[in-house]
Amino acid sequence: MADIVVVDSEETVRSVVERILRRAGHSVRATGDFNEALQILRQSRADLVLTNVFLRGIAGHDAMLRLKTDFPGIPVLMMSGVPDSSVIREWVEQAQFDIFPKPFMPDSLIHKIEEVLKTAR
């Protein structure tokens, strides 16, 4: 399966997502800190980054651009509790990232991740 880095400032969300992905057979490295996520990605390339739009210490748009610049071949799937926000939609369109709404059902998350990974290949 895939090696996925999960970045979410909320420990509960991170833990739930990590458990869902592991049960689906994926390898998961999770953190609540964006700079730590960058370190993880520098140490070992991932197949996908799953991140919350809003992270502690960095604006979502800045995080997206940084990931795209530093790791251009790694697809990024963003989670958001407000995916229909015009600002978030603009960010997604500009940086060409995909977005996934929170809350979600485990099966829908797995399906979306498989879709993003398939498109990236």
Q: What is this structure's pTM?
A: 0.91
pLDDT computed for residue 105 by the predictor: 94
pLDDT computed for residue 89 by the predictor: 73
Which class for 12: exposed (0-12), middle (13-18), buried (19 or more C-beta within 10 A)? exposed
Per-residue confidence band for 83, with pLDDT thresholds at 50, 70 and 90: low
Per-residue confidence band for 24, with pLDDT thresholds at 50, 70 and 90: very high
Each residue of 84-96: pLDDT tens digit?
677 777 777 776 7
Residue 32 to residue 8: CA distance in whole angstroms: 5
User: What's the average model confidence in pLDDT over 22-32?
Assistant: 97
Residue 100 to residue 50: CA distance in whole angstroms: 10
Question: What fold, for 3-120?
Answer: Rossmann fold (3.40.50)
Averaging pLDDT over each range in 9-23, 55-69, 71-85, which range is the top one? 9-23
Mean pLDDT of the chain: 89
Q: What is the token pair recorded at 63?
A: 């995080």
Share of residues in the chain with pLDDT > 70 (%): 95
pLDDT computed for residue 59 by the predictor: 78
User: What's the average model confidence in pLDDT over 71-85?
Assistant: 83
